[in-house]
Amino acid sequence: MYIYNRSITITMDTMDVKGQASVEYLLLALVFLIILGSVTVPLINQGINDSLDVSHSSDASAAINSIANAIGVVYSNGPGSVRTINVYFSNTNAALTYNSANSTIQMSVPEYNGPNKVIDANVPIAVTLNGGNSVSIVNKTNYNATVTWPIGTSAINVAMVPS
């Protein structure tokens, strides 16, 4: 019986050593995962912000180019012509402006990391936006842009309302 108890004691000691090794491997794996997570999470956040910047810029570019194309169509059709289009702006608290020095319509798009990016498009004639030189984009939504060239005026009007 003494030998039997001794073999049980030896077996228990071996199991304790194996259990300690397993715990050490688990702790080592946990430390590795913490280090891996602390490196990859900021990279993932940076990637998400960069993709959102590209998405907002491309939405603004598509909307501004659509409005500029509508202005070009109205200009080519002459005074008295009208065209209505629907555009989507994904930026809030931005402004669509007409720059008479460059003869462009433009919008400053905020970016997550860095300065604002200016998206612009050339127009062939002077433009008034909602009766002035700018339109505030308040909501992230679609807008109906009605482009008109009244007879007897030298500027094309763009009236924008959320749809």
At residue 77, the pLDDT reads 95
pLDDT tens digits for range 66-124: 999 999 999 999 999 999 999 999 877 788 999 999 999 999 998 887 788 999 999 99
Chain Cα centroid distance, residue 63 = 14
Locate 157 and state its tokens: 């009007």
pTM of the model: 0.77
CA nearest neighbour of 59 among 142, 133, 1: 142
Three-state SS across 138-153?
A: CCCEEEEEEEECCCCC
CA dihedral 118, 109, 73, 79 (to 10 degrees): -90
CA angle 27, 32, 38 (to 5 degrees): 125
What is the per-residue pLDDT across 27-79, written as a single tens digit (0 to 9) for each?
Answer: 899 999 999 888 888 888 888 988 988 888 899 999 999 999 999 999 999 99
Give 93's contacts (C-beta < 8 A, 6+ positions apart): 137, 138
Residue whose entry in the numeric block shows the structure tokens 């199991």: 15
